[in-house]
Structure 1
Amino acid sequence: MTELTVNSFSNGGANPAGQPFVPPAPVPRKNPVGRLELMRVVYRNPLELWGEPSYNEPWVEVNWIGMRTIIANDPALIRHVLVENPQNYPMGTVRQRVLRPILRDGLLTAEGITWRRSRKAIAPVFTPRHIHGFADAMLRSAQDFTTRYQIAGTVTDVSRDMTLLTYDILAETLFSGEIAGDPKEFARQTDRLFETMGRVDPFDLLGAPDWLPRLTQLRGRRSLGFFRSIVAQTIQLRKDRMDRGERVPNDFLTLLLQAETSPDKPDGLSRDEIEDNLITFIGAGHETTARALGWTLYLLAQAPSERAIVEAEIDAFMAGEGRDLPPHQWLEKLPLTRAAFEEAMRLYPPAPSINREALADDQFGDLNIRAGTAVIVMPWTIHRHRKYWDNPEAFIPARFHPQNRDKIDRFQYLPFGAGPRVCIGGSFAMQEAVIALAVLLSKHRFDMVGDAKPWPVQKLTTQPKNGLLMKVTPR
């Protein structure tokens, strides 16, 4: 087990003049750890597990509690697993044990025929035409949200705020504002759900039978019940309107209900599958964007020169063509703002791991991948890999400026995954993020309070431990 080692940490302190900001993150381990320490770290924060080889080698082979595991960093190997031979690499067992109790047969966890049926039903919502049509609602939601910062010097947890903002956007765009539940309670329950059920249970690592209760799942049942209740109420509200013959929005919810199984649609979605996919997008669909927005505001606050670049671009745009340009065009017109968001997702990928498991023996170059081998594609380590990035620990948005973007291999930057199971909402998230950042940063400046150094923790997403306490002042 040469991969696992004693942990030390970067301090994430202020950057010297002229030097890029290096945010806090675990420093690669150097010494092996035993089985008990492995389980403890994986439960507490898997980001603290990875050793030097994962940040330097194209792949690493380890034996974790009796299971051969390959950490895949090489872009060609990643392409092989996720794109060239995906049928041999279904979802990893441990990943499914964590996510299926929450999402069941939602798009992130379904496989085989169920996944293909759901993907086909959901795909029409995320065509460019539909995504562009959501832009006006995204803009209105972001503008309305900024009113909470009217009091100069507001101190707030921006991580929580971004959860509320992306919830508002999701409710307006995919559900036309007709989603049940109170936003504040929703945010609280989201945190609770991911704190409990959104992490690996030690029994999962040990391969314990499914009937054996998991402490993490037991602690999260109330939050999961809250989500299921929201979904049931939301579906019933829309279904009642449809049954009455009322005109309803042609949104995500309506499209799913139109795809429901019926005598003339025997291959449609069951009611349970509709609920599962709603939960997937209510929970995971906005959570990832919320975390990425929070990290972007934090990184810009700690890198004033980079923030000045983004603010200058936004100010010029808002004072010029942005006043009349449809918001769905903002993404291409604000490349430096987009670059800051992409660099934030490189350093703090919203989904930090992609877990697969080989069905049959496979070969990649001189790497033999036997059936049953776990294959982990880690955006967290790939995005910080020393072979593929210059100064990988530093916040340098210029990597993603238009003149540099093509230098990045498609499979060394994976914020939305790749292959058949690439995130279906990636374009939606990018449009949403740039519109939100443009509105927020045109009106306000965000600064960290005190000497707090937010620590990245992997749950379902990459979250800042104890939030992001920031002072928000008018610009």
Structure 2
Amino acid sequence: MDMRPEPFEPPAPIPRTVPPSKLEIIRTVFRNPLELWGTPSYTLPWIMTSFFGEKTLIVNDPGLIKYLLVDNAANYRMATVRQLVLRPILRDGLLTAEGWVWRRSRKAVAPIFTPRHAKGFATQMLAQSQRYAQKYEGADGAIFDIGNDMTELAFAVLSDTLFSGEIVTSSDNFADDVDDLLHSMGRIDPMDLLRAPSWVPRITRIGGLKVLGKFRRIVRDTMDLRLKRMAKDGDGAPNDFLTLLLRAAGPEGLTMEEVEDNILTFIGAGHETTARALAWTLYCVANSPHVREAMEEEIDRVLASGADPVDWLDRMPWTRAAFEEAMRLYPPAPSINREAIADDRWTSPSGEAVEIPKGVTILVMPWTLHRHELLWQKPRAYMPERFLPENREAIHRFQYLPFGAGPRICIGATFAMQEAIIALGVLMHRFRFDMTAETKPWPVQRLTTQPANGLALRVTARRCASSPS
């Protein structure tokens, strides 16, 4: 008999049972879009609805998702509202560029993120994780904001691997700067919902312009430093992401403005998704003793074997499953937005047709998709067992989208997965993370799924553990 307690059900908004008024929609979208969705979004395969007179198709059917994001992706561009939010921050970075600009940026960046190349970063990821773990030495039982800490750790990994440690900034307040940027610039303004032109001021974002300017200065200083080194050292300059982008600049390649936009995208947002997912994982594991026990046994065994960190992802199925389940419940990117370029039509295997008019907004929301009652058993519960190798076949490829899908799938997915497993392996081998009376996170959508109120956990050394070599 299985004597384990019921699985942990982490905090999340309860689905609405009454449709919100227009005023409620504006307030909720500005405060926290995750609180907007009603019961139909978690129980129906698709819904055609309307927001402020604009038709919107909310999609949770894996077959229809595949059609929209893969089979006929050419008919669906970035949604207007999404671009109104993101383009002021990232301009023509990889997340927001479209058409030819996106294609040439993707081509320029792709070589650094091939699985073979990404695996080459494992040693640096291990070293940065070990270095960051020293923060917890001697603070036995102290409480830390793990949300901030994982942002700092992910930034250290990104800086070392993609920029060879040459981002021109001190990371002392970097987590706070990212929070400020996303809090002020990464939310939907009422003017966005009304589809006001981008030149109309967004009052809610005025406070974020100073932080955005700071990030832009960091990028320009970083570019200038590397260009000087490339001119001086030639082939002796690091052959990393930064050099790759700068070498891609020129009449036939990227403009210097596009290089700047892509560097900002990776500095400001490229590490943010991994950082949030790591923090949510440690929180969920702290509330799931049997999961933590399985992870600790697995991590200790793999590290004791002396396995190369490049192999940890394959040799730690429980650790990987714990991370993937945290991304299911708290998807780093909680919504995928598209807009139909021309009329379209999709027919389900049962013969039911979905008419998709030109101009309709498409919402594929990992937040609701990952909690959908038609697709998941106990959808609100934290159950990493779903992602163990023997159970993965039950999960449809398009019912779980932590990194998106189709041509615009996250280019750094392999990088992020490897980074996360190495970080969890180092941290959980040496320390245990526990709940405190102050641990009261609430998921809020600010580009990523962030823990409002911080994520306070108590950190205690594991007496039986030794530092991995």
The C-alpha deviation readout for 1:64-97, integer Å capped at 9, x for no partner, is 0010001000000100100011111100000000
Q: Which runs of 4+ in 1 moved over 3 A?
A: none
Structure 2 counterpart of 1:299 = 284
CA contact (8 A) 2:182 2:446 kept: yes
Residue 440 of structure 2 corresponds to residue 440 of structure 1: no
Residue equivalent to 1:429: 416
Residue matched to 2:239: 250
Secondary structure in structure 2 of the residue aligned to 1:423: coil
Please name the residue that 2:467 is paired with. none
Question: Following the alignment from structure 2 to structure 1, what is the Cα–Cα distance between the partners of residues 314 and 245?
Answer: 30
Pick aligned residue for 1:195 from 180, 183, 189 = 183
Matching residue of 1:223: 211
Corresponding residue of 1:349: 331
- The range that moved more, 185-194 or 383-392, is 185-194
Q: Indicate if the aligned counterparts of 1:83 and 1:418 stay in contact, CA closer than 8 A.
A: yes
Partner of 2:56: 69
Percentage identity across paired residues of the two chains:
58
**Residues paired across the two proteins, number:** 453
Structure 2: how far apart are the matches of 1:259 and 1:186? Answer: 28
Q: What do the CA deviations read for 1:175-217 (whole angstroms, capped 9, x no partner)?
A: 0111110112222110000000001001100112222100232
SS at match of 1:26: coil
Aligned residue identity for 2:154: T
- Deviation of the 1:153 alpha carbon: 1.4
| Distance (whole Å) between structure 1 residues aligned to residue 322 and residue 426 of structure 2 | 15
**Corresponding residue of 1:95:** 82
1:373 maps to what in 2?
A: 360
Aligned pair partner of 2:447 in 454, 457, 460: 460
**Which of 103, 110, 113 pairs up with 2:97?**
110
Instruction: Tell me the amino acid that sits aligned with residue 300 of structure 2.
Output: D
Q: Which residue of 2 aligns with 1:149?
A: 136
Paired AA for residue 326 in structure 1: D
Among residues 23, 30, 33, which one is paired with 1:46 in the alignment? Answer: 33
Which one-letter code corresponds to 1:357 in the other structure?
A: E
Amino acid at match of 1:95: R
- Measure, in 2, the Cα distance between the counterparts of 1:473 and 1:434: 20
Shift, 1:267, TM fit = 2.1
- Classify the secondary structure of the residue corresponding to 2:55: strand
Of 202, 220, 226, 1:214 maps to 202
Superposed CA deviations along residues 351-399 of structure 1, whole A, max 9, x for unmatched, are 0000000010000121111001000000000000000100000000000
CA deviation map 1:98-141 (0-9, x unaligned): 00000000000000000000000000000122101111000000
SS at match of 1:50: coil
1:329 equivalent in structure 2: 311
- SS of equivalent residue, structure 1 residue 237: helix
Q: Deviations over 1:404-425 (max 9, x none)?
A: 1121100000000000000000
Query: Shift in Å at residue 245 of structure 1?
Result: 2.8
Pair 1:311 & 2:293 matched = no
| Residues 363-442 of structure 1 mapped to structure 2, 5 A cutoff | 363-365=345-347, 366-442=353-429
Structure 1, unmatched stretches of 5+, are 1-15
Indicate conservation of the 8 Å contact 1:296/1:340, yes or no.
yes
Contact 1:448 / 1:468 at 8 angstroms: preserved in 2? no
Matched, 1:18 2:5: yes
Partners of 1:128 and 1:249 in 2: how far apart?
20
Quote the residue 1:159 is aligned against: 147
| Partner Cα distance (1:466, 1:250) in 2 | 40
**Using the alignment, how far apart are the partners of 2:383 and 2:364 within structure 1?**
23
Structure 2 match to 1:132: 119
The answer to whether the Cα contact below 8 Å between 2:249 and 2:255 also exists between their aligned partners in 1 is yes
Q: 1:17: how far off?
A: 5.8
Deviations 1:22-47 (A, max 9, x none): 00101110001111110000000000
Q: What's the CA shift for 1:453?
A: 2.6
Cα RMSD for the two superposed structures: 1.0
1:281 paired to 2:269: no
Partner of 1:359: 341
State whether residues 363 and 369 of structure 1, in contact with CA within 8 Å, keep that contact through their aligned partners in structure 2. Answer: yes
The CA distance in 1 between the partners of 2:442 and 2:4, in whole Å, is: 23
TM-score (norm 1): 0.94
Alpha-carbon offset, residue 305 of structure 1: 1.2
Look up the SS of the partner of 1:29 in the other structure: coil
Q: Could you tell me whether the CA contact under 8 Å between 2:180 and 2:208 is conserved in 1?
A: yes
TM-score norm. by structure 2 comes to: 0.95
Matched AA of 1:298: Y
Q: Could you say which residue in structure 1 is the equivalent of 2:466?
A: none
- Cα deviation 1:4-63 (Å, max 9, x = unaligned): xxxxxxxxxxxx961100001011100011111100000000000111111111101111
- Is the 2:302–2:312 contact (alpha carbons within 8 Å) kept by the matching residues of 1? no
- Out of 167, 172, 181, the position equivalent to 2:160 is 172
Q: Distance in 2 between matches of 1:37 and 1:432?
A: 39
Q: Distance in 2 between matches of 1:330 and 1:353?
A: 30
Give 1:280's aligned amino acid.
T
Alpha-carbon distance in 2 for matches of 1:158, 1:290: 10
- For structure 2, the residue ranges without an aligned partner over 5 or more in a row are 348-352, 463-469
Contact 1:448 1:469 in 2 (8 A): yes
CA contact (8 A) 1:55 1:384 kept: yes
Structure-2 separation of matches of 1:42 and 1:356: 18
Alignment partners' CA distance in 1, 2:117 and 2:343: 41
Q: Deviations over 1:322-369 (max 9, x none)?
A: x2x221111001111000000000000000000000010000121111
